[in-house]
Amino acid sequence: MSDPALPPLQIADVQRTVAGELERIGPVIDELGARFADAGHELALVGGPVRDAMLGRLQNDLDFTTSARPEVTEKLVRGWADAIWDLGRAFGTIGCRKGPWQVEITTYRSETYDPSSRKPDVDYGDNLAGDLGRRDFTVNAMAMSLPGRTFEDPFGGVVDLAARVLRTPGTPESSFSDDPLRMMRAARFAAQLGFTVAPEVVAAMTDMAERITIVSAERVRDELVKLVEAPWPRRGLTLLVETGLAAYVLPELPALALERDEHHRHKDVYQHTLTVLEQSIELEDRLDGGGPDFVSRFAALMHDVGKPKTRRFVDDGTVTFHHHDVVGAKLTRKRMQALRFSNDTIDAVAKLVELHLRFHGYGTGEWTDSAVRRYVRDAGDQLTRLHVLTRADCTTRNKRKAERLRRTYDDLEARIARLSEQEELASIRPDLDGTQIMEILDLPPGPVVGEAYRFLLELRMEEGPQPYDAARDALLTWWAARSAE
């Protein structure tokens, strides 16, 4: 998925797109606007929904800003909304659902960071212009006052949107001082929307990159996930690296730019990694849920992070990266723990990183059925993602070599499919269960039964399914040898 070169938007096209979107969401915004106006309060559709309406990105999440305080907002939506929640009350936000629409209504506000704080201080504002002025980018600082549907654009957001450029309403230094996470959001929006980031914004991101360290790991993680799941993550990741932000939030990525890939000397491992990420995205239709798939993408991004620590120069001038898969899995686990990912997500990504080289021992198909079974067993529930990562990890420009690797992996997948059909590989178990083991060996439950179970599992991996009598005889032979030790 190549970096986008999107043409500028035409204002007339934007206006037509907005008109169509307003017809779709009209029943919600007009009713809600009337309720607030009747109570003497201002209400405006704001931020992302206004921007996305202009881009034709239809959505059911609607954000509003209002002069009403949260307790008043809650009263005004009660009886109108199908459900109400107030988890964001501390930040001035009341959430609710109306039919298919998810609604968030936030009191006019300004928020700033104390230099030593990880959380923003929230102060209520008293007018729409002030609220828009504290937003991250001009394309998110547009609003539509309700119920009259008056378009508000004090910072030229529609012009920047048409030009597909990200600028800040005020100086970027002031914006990023207020909330350093906005630097991450610049990269995320570049990846999501295909926008260019204005030079002065890039300069401020570069100068202020270290400021990201005061933001909580959870907030950084959430932005990183959105960036990686975006249509053009390479654009956002490149911006993080070039501005120095990646050195603080994902330092393993810029470290790759220092390494040369031993198989592809025309590019460094950093560029190879970004290409693998893009190729993994192109293969997401192979996954059960399709895409975007964070685990698959992040594994592609991290698969070679062990190379800097394992680089060795050989006397003949070649470079090796022995065991970078194992080292990379450990580094991946450590980084994801620091970013507060769930254990399940960490385990999935780390497993893929650790196994990403396993296929290369397959040669031209020399693996035994036993080796194929072990490949499936070790991959476990990540087998399909491992197929994607392994295929994506071929970035050679040698078409003959690339075709050979593709055919070889086709053969491996076909063998897995055949064995799976014959042997139920996804749930490989010994031919005898624990109860049968205890009956045959006359044993009570305990560690020895576990030993016998593992012996039979290895036998199953090596020789495939066995009839009961053969499995029993093998177990008895093993037991006799163990007892004689």
- Give the tens place of pLDDT for each residue, 461-484: 788 888 899 889 999 999 988 888
Q: What is the mean pLDDT of residues 111-130?
A: 72
> In degrees, to the nearest 5, what angle opens at C-alpha 198 toward C-alphas 194 and 201?
115
Q: What is the pLDDT of residue 120?
A: 61
Amino acid present at 442: D
* Residue-wise pLDDT tens digits, 177-213: 989 999 999 999 999 999 999 999 999 999 999 999 9
Q: Could you give the CA distance from residue 475 to residue 439 in angstroms, rounded to a whole number?
A: 12
DSSP bridge partners of 197: 166
The rounded percent of the chain whose pLDDT value lies above 70 is 93
Q: Are strands 165-166 and 83-85 parallel, antiparallel or unpaired?
A: unpaired
Q: What is the CATH number of domain 254-427?
A: 1.10.3210
- Helix pair 181-193, 199-207: axis angle to 10 deg: 140
Q: What is the pLDDT of residue 3?
A: 60
Confidence of residue 315 (pLDDT cuts 50, 70, 90): confident
Which of 462, 299, 309, 300 has its CA nearest to residue 372? Answer: 462
CATH number belonging to the domain at 11-156, selected among 3.30.460.10, 3.30.70.270, 3.20.20.150, 1.10.3720.10: 3.30.460.10
Do domains 11-156 and 254-427 share one topology? The answer is no
Q: Which fold has domain 171-250?
A: Hydrophobic Seed Protein (1.10.110)
Is there a contact between 288 and 296 (Cβ–Cβ < 8 Å)?
no
Q: What is the pLDDT of residue 266?
A: 42
Q: What is the pLDDT of residue 380?
A: 87
Q: Where are the beta strands (DSSP E) in 87-186?
A: 93-98, 101-107, 109-112, 121-124, 143-146, 150-152, 165-166
DSSP 3-state assignment of 357? coil
Q: Could you give the CA distance from residue 140 to residue 46 in angstroms, rounded to a whole number?
A: 7
**What are the structural domain ranges in the chain?**
11-156, 171-250, 254-427, 434-484
**How many Cβ atoms are within 10 Å of 347's Cβ, its own excluded?**
17
